[in-house]
Amino acid sequence: MEWMAWTWPTAIFFIIIASTLTVFTVLAIKFPEAPRMGVLRIETTRGDRLFITLLGSAFINLAWLGVIGANQPFALIVCLLYAAAVFRWV
Amino acid sequence: MDKTLNHKAWFLVLPVIVLVAFSAVIPLMTVVNYSVQDTFGNNQFFWVGLEWFEEMLHSERMWDALGRQLLFSAIILTIQIPLGIFVALNMPKSGFWSSFCLVMMSLPLLIPWNVVGTIWQIFGRVDIGLLGYTLDALGISYNYTQDIFAAWVTIIVMDVWHWTSLVALLAFAGLKSIPDAYYQAAKIDQASRWAIFRYIELPKMMGVLMIAILLRFMDSFMIYTEPFVVTGGGPGNATTLLSIDLVKMALGQFDLGPAAAFSIMYYLVILIISWVFYTVMTNLEKKEG
């Protein structure tokens, strides 16, 4: 594992991603849901909305870093708001 | 008949998951780890946080390469997609000449990237290349090693030469799948050639065309070998596309941290564009049937 140059923050990052995926997989099996149409006019399931959230969050973080460049943790608050919006309306 | 639902079937894809983890997921995780650290070799790493990302986001070099990359992809898509459709529409639909055309069109696709690069590198040379020599003899100034415009024209024409037939083959497959009844109905209605194309052929080709656009976009966005062999990214940095810049940074300068941050952003851009294409494609299919 040493060659992978692990650090605690990146390890925690991947653990969070992996557990989110696990939780959503279990949810999809236990409570299957029909796709629904949202503001983007495309059919999405919970998994799709998670993907949109994660990908969007990556860009929100990069934009924050590029434009504001300080107090990066606050970008996560924006991401949470974005996630809530995606799960509510997309 | 209902499909049998058995979640244990997921275990059958386990070998693929292991393979993908080994060849893609674990290396990608390593890249993420590199992107937040600095190294001076010897496998010793120092934590730097998001510094590399910040540096890359403010790096003119990266934005310039991204701009060139988007321009390159936009130009080749604007040329190759209409040209491919045009070629497919004019191909013989059956018989010996149809097969002959198909084989001839597949030939450029079978040539390895570096060979295509070498062919064009020599073809365009003013001293020994047929194209370069002819243009020079006609009095047209053409030198892809010194002139930016000539370098761009060369790599674009080369890509069109290499990949238009892929679009044409896909469009041809789409055209072949249209039943004759549609054309007969159009004939009864005395539809014009344009109307047949607009209301029968184009909608029926939409699915394969989206695949063609996606494939051509991805390939052109990640292109490395051909322009590298022909121009080496020059003159100056004029044809340094994203992956050429990335390789320079990662292997030429061995700046692992910045290169890793760069790769992750490159990856995210590709991911979002592919997702948009994929979503549009699946929605088209749903609308059709």
Min Cα distance B223 → chain A (Å) is: 24
Q: Summarize pLDDT for A58-72 with one digit per residue, the tens.
A: 999 999 998 988 788
- The reply to whether B53 touches chain A by the CB within 8 Å rule is yes
Task: Count, in order, helices (H) and strands (E) of chain B.
Answer: 14, 2
pLDDT reading at B67 higher than 70: yes
Residue B29: list chain A partners with CB under 8 A. Answer: 4, 10, 14
pLDDT of B1: 53
Cβ contact B197:B163 at 8 Å = no
Report the C-alpha gap between B248 and B250 in whole angstroms. Answer: 6
pLDDT of B72: 95
Nearest CA in chain A to B48: A7
Domain boundaries, chain B: 65-288
- The reply to whether B37 touches chain A by the CB within 8 Å rule is yes
Q: At what angle do helices B202-221 and B256-288 cross, to 10 degrees?
A: 170
- The reply to whether A9 touches chain B by the CB within 8 Å rule is yes
Q: Summarize pLDDT for B214-229 with one digit per residue, the tens.
A: 899 989 999 999 999 9
The interface predicted TM-score of the complex, written ipTM, equals 0.91
Q: Summarize pLDDT for B25-42 with one digit per residue, the tens.
A: 999 999 999 999 998 877
The CATH number that domain B65-288 falls under is: 1.10.3720.10
Cβ contact A87:A48 at 8 Å = no
The token duo for B210 is 């989206």
pLDDT reading at B288 higher than 70: no
pLDDT of B40: 81
Burial class of residue B96, CB neighbours in 10 A (0-12, 13-18, 19+): exposed
Contact (CB<8Å) A7/B50? no
